C-alpha cells in the first residue's frame, strides 16, 4: 500500500489506487468505476496557449507549470529536477512545461516577466508562484501543501 498512488479519473473524478510500479512503466491502469484509462505517464506534459485551459485549469490534480525558453540557462538547469518530480509525484501533482517564446498569450495573462517562472494551480486557480532556478527539494517543499489536499480530494 505504501507503494501506491492515488489517481483521480479524468472522466468520472473517482479516486483510484494505482500501484507505483504501473506509473511511467507503460502499463495501463483503468478507473474502477467507469473503466476509463487513468493517466499514469510520468513525464511533464507540454502545454500551449491553446491547451492551457484543458491541461491545467481543468486538471483535477494540482499542476506546476514551468514557463521556460530553450535559450534560458537557468531554465535548462531546472528541467532535470522537474523531470524527476514528474516521476516521483505522478498521480499527486501534474508537471507541465510551456515555452514562453511559442506561447506569449499565457505568459502575458499571468504577468510573467522573468524565466524560469513556475506557476502552481489548484482547482483552476494560481495558488503559488516560484520565480528563478530552484532546487528539486525547494520545489517539492512548495508543492507539499497542495499534494496533501489532492490526496484527500
Q: Looking at 9, 31, 59, 75, which residue is catalytic?
A: 75
Q: CA angle 121-119-58, nearest 5°?
A: 30
> Where do the H-state alpha helices sit in 11-153?
52, 73-88, 104-109, 136-152
Phi-psi region at 58: left, alpha or beta (left = phi > 0; alpha = psi -120 to 50): alpha
Q: Looking at 9, 31, 59, 72, which residue is catalytic?
A: 72
CA distance 46 to 102: 12
Q: Is 72 a catalytic residue?
A: yes
Active-site residues, by number, are 72, 75
Amino acid at each position: 500500500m505504501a507503494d501506491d498512488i492515488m489517481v483521480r479519473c479524468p472522466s468520472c473524478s473517482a479516486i483510484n489506487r494505482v500501484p507505483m510500479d504501473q506509473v511511467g512503466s507503460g502499463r495501463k491502469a483503468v478507473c474502477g468505476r467507469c473503466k476509463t484509462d487513468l493517466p499514469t505517464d510520468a513525464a511533464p506534459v507540454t502545454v500551449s496557449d491553446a491547451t492551457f485551459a484543458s491541461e491545467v485549469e481543468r486538471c483535477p490534480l494540482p499542476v506546476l507549470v514551468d514557463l521556460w525558453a530553450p535559450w534560458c540557462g537557468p531554465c535548462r538547469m531546472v528541467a532535470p529536477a522537474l523531470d524527476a518530480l514528474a516521476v516521483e509525484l505522478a498521480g499527486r501533482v501534474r508537471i507541465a512545461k510551456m515555452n514562453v517564446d511559442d506561447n506569449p498569450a499565457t505568459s502575458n495573462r499571468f504577468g510573467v516577466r522573468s524565466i524560469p517562472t513556475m506557476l502552481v494551480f489548484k482547482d483552476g486557480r494560481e495558488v503559488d508562484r516560484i520565480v528563478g532556478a530552484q532546487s528539486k527539494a525547494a520545489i517539492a517543499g512548495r508543492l507539499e501543501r497542495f499534494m496533501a489536499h489532492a490526496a484527500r480530494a
